[in-house]
Structure 1
Amino acid sequence: MVDRTSKIERNTNETSIKLEINLDGTGINEINTGIGFFDHMLNLFSFHSKIDIKLLANGDLEVCDHHTVEDVGIALGEAFKKAIGDKKGINRYGTFHLPMDETLALVSLDISGRAFLVFDCDFNREKVGELSTEMVEEFFRAFAFNAGITLHCKVLYGSNDHHKIEAIFKGFGRAIKEAKHRDKLNGIPSTKGML
């Protein structure tokens, strides 16, 4: 089977990002964005998706976390799109309900080539650690639009923002794991013959 790895280097006046991913890994990772809680969420995503991630991001955190979080989403989305290739043999769809204590999150996605995000998640706090809660949606938007996937994230219920965000990232990892899985006997998973 074709190797599904990619490397991205993305440099702007606001951030510098070096990224390597392996879609068929074991979930090992080396992640440093300078935002501890964000690193933790990306670590969980890597583990649950079984995508190996090596990521070093340096951003203008003295301004705020916006540019770093969004640009990491962009880079991860670009790397995913590059690594997934022609999509031959993949499951294409992935859906996962993830419980975490009092919280239940739903993540459902389609590696469709059509970028779209529905994000139905409410947070009460401005930040968890050094991650602005408003940036969670921005991360998933950046990933979805640069990966070319349709992505739906919903917190069905819950009260603790840490649990809500963690459930979303873990659920995203599990849904991606399901969708990227490939069977060499399958062709392109679309009646159109292409994605």
Structure 2
Amino acid sequence: MTEPRIVTVERATSETEIRLTLNLDGSGQVALQTGIGFLDHMLTALARHGRLDLDLQVTGDLDVDDHHTVEDTGLALGSAIDQALSDRRGIERFAHAYAPLDEALARVVVDLSGRPFARVDIPFVREVIGDVATENLTHFFQSLAMTGRMALHVDVLHGDNDHHKAEAAFKALAIALRRAVARTGSAEIPSTKGSL
């Protein structure tokens, strides 16, 4: 039997303290608290639809604003994905997904290439959803891609409601990640270069 890909990441700076345990081969079990309600909602959707077990506790400088908490959470989650994938042997690597939420439709394409890149196009109208700045939601995806060492394209193709746009994007990411990290049964590294 193949061992589950479970990793714990701790990140401590003068701005945030994060402890995160991720199981890539989970069932969507979630226990998290970032101090930002809307971010918790998005991460719960990501874990549930990605079938990732995620235990996450964050203490951030929310007296300043939400930026560092959102950014560092993305960085920690990306690092956990990267570590859990190890040399990325025997994974699908490429995946895409569409997810609708009522009038909103999001598309996410991911390549677990080992080369970080993010292109995020979510046409938000509002500056804030709940207690998180919409620009920081975009930054979350960018931070995740950097430390997760993945090429990540996030596009919201349609939508009127900013909550729906964001949630559709997180759900599409969840489905794409679930497919990209899936084991193929091969022992090969999915690259013509022989490494990722």
- Shorter-chain TM-score range: over 0.9
Deviations 1:89-136 (A, max 9, x none): 100011001111111110000000000001111101111110111111
Residue 36 of structure 1: aligned partner? 37
Aligned partner of residue 194 in structure 1, secondary structure: coil
Cα RMSD, aligned residues only = 0.9
Residue number in structure 2 paired with 1:177: 178
Alpha-carbon displacement from aligned partner over 1:67-107 (angstroms, at most 9, x marks no partner): 00000001001111000111111000110011111111100
TM-score (norm 2): 0.97
Name 2:20's counterpart in structure 1: 19
Aligned residue-pair number = 195
CA offset at residue 186 of structure 1? 4.9
CA distance in 1, matches of 2:134, 2:174: 19
Check if 1:64 corresponds to 2:61.
no
Q: Post-superposition shift, 1:189?
A: 1.0
Aligned partners of 1:90, 1:109: CA distance in 2, in Å?
13
SS of residue in 2 equivalent to 1:172: helix
Query: What's the offset of the Cα at 1:39?
Result: 0.1
Point out where structure 1 has 5 or more consecutive residues left out of the alignment: none
For 1:106 and 1:143, locate their aligned partners in 2 and report how far apart those are by CA, in whole Å: 17
Corresponding residue for residue 145 of structure 1: 146
Residue 119 (structure 2) aligns with: 118
Runs (5+) with no aligned partner, structure 2: none
Tell me the equivalent position of 1:109: 110
Q: Which amino acid is the alignment partner of residue 116 of structure 1?
A: F
Superposed, 1:66-85 pairs within 5 Å as 66-85=67-86
Once residues 132 and 190 of structure 1 are traced to their aligned partners in structure 2, the CA distance between those partners, rounded to angstroms, is 38
Q: CA deviation at 1:3?
A: 3.2
Question: Which residue does the alignment assign to 2:159?
Answer: 158
User: 1:155 deviation in Å?
Assistant: 0.7
Report the Cα distance in structure 2 between the residues aligned to 1:16 and 1:185, rounded to whole angstroms: 38
Q: Distance in 2 between matches of 1:47 and 1:120?
A: 23
Structure 1 segments of 4+ aligned residues over 6 angstroms from their partners: none
- Greater displacement, 17-26 / 179-188: 179-188
Identity of aligned residues (%): 47
Q: Which amino acid aligns with 2:36?
A: I
